[in-house]
Amino acid sequence: MDAKVCGIKDIETAVYTANKGAKAIGFVFAESKRRISPAQAAEIIKELPDQILKVGVFVNESKETIERIIEETGINAVQLHGEESPSFCEAFSVPVIKAFSVGKKEDLEIIRDYTCEYILLDSPKGQYRGGNGISFDWSILKGNDFKGKKLILAGGLNEQNVLTAIQEVHPYMVDVSSGVETNGVKDLNKIDGFLSIVRDAEKKEDIS
């Protein structure tokens, strides 16, 4: 069981998060209160271990802009959170995480059109495409075959509900942003608590 912490904006938090066992860190380049510049992201990424997945988050951005930011920052995966087409998602040399807003079971049908390695399931859109702190009904995922795609579960996860989410959904990775914040700022204690729960869940799965 892996974890991704999204919306990080400073070196201290990024390095702490990596040291506590997160496998992926997300940098938001789309309209958001957590938006970061490519220059800021590049400074942070230089301090991170090679094995960490450094994910750039975009919403309906041009391929040219995304490619430029990949080059400038060193991100090694892109998360597409808009209405990007299947062919657009296939146009990158780095792994693509296609995000989908899920409110009802029918929202899952479009996923079959995409061939990307990762899919991220998030709550219905709020003010922003993600990071709104609201979870969705995980039971609608039961019985769905995602054809080998790696499922990343997002949307309102925090220390209180992430274990239940893992037990119900069995995702490849859990994704957190607002759930490890205090007053809109990443909280190191909450990051530690969240990642500790994920690590413990992973150990139990390994044993079983």
DSSP state of 95: -
CA distances for 158 relative to 23, 68, 91, 96, angstroms = 17, 33, 33, 25
Of 89, 122, 145, 206, which is the active-site residue?
A: 122
Residue that the structure tokens 């991170």 belong to: 48
The answer to whether 113 is a known catalytic residue is: no
Using CA atoms, how far residue 159 sits from 165, 174, 192, in Å, is 11, 12, 10
Residue 89 a catalytic site member: no
Burial track 109-140 (b if 16+ CB lie within 10 A, e otherwise): eebeebebebbbbbbeeeebbbbbeebbebeb
The answer to whether residues 100 and 107 touch, using CB atoms and an 8 Å cutoff, is yes
- Which of the following is catalytic: 2, 6, 187, 206? 6
Q: Distance of alpha carbon 3 from its chain centroid, rounded? A: 8
Give catalytic residue positions.
6, 122
